[in-house]
Amino acid sequence: MLKLFAKLQDALAPRGSTSKDEAKKRLKLLLIHDQVNLTAAQLESMKAEILTIIKRYCEPGEAEEVELRLQKEGGEVALVSNIPVRRVTGGAAPA
């Protein structure tokens, strides 16, 4: 009976992130990186470099808020980014 109750509870509970969700997420990322041969560390350093350029023109959100990742759609891999902007500073046009 207790087992049945646990099962019911489990079935009715809102599904959070299960270990299989985690596995799938890790796997997808792994396969993309395998395909393009770009490590997570390289992606981080690319993100830092992009941010230094952006900072010349505007004030982006904190590094943790800035998103830069590889995404696979069909057979194509895309670089997807989402950069919140606090304030546009104008900045100097390159010489």
**86 lines the binding site for another protein (CB under 8 A):** no
Q: CA angle 28-32-34, nearest 5°? A: 115
Is the alpha carbon torsion for 21, 73, 38, 55 positive or negative?
negative
Residues near another protein (CB under 8 A), total: 16
In 3D space, the residue among 39, 42, 66 whose CA is nearest the CA of residue 52 turns out to be 66
CA angle 13, 18, 21 (to 5 degrees): 130
49 near another protein, rule: CB under 8 A: no
6 binds another protein (CB under 8 A): no
> Nearest distance from residue 42's CB to another protein, in Å?
19
Selected from 1, 3, 5, 10, the binder of another protein by CB under 8 A is 10
By the criterion CB under 8 A, which residues form the site for another protein? 10-12, 15, 18-21, 23-24, 26-28, 30-31, 34
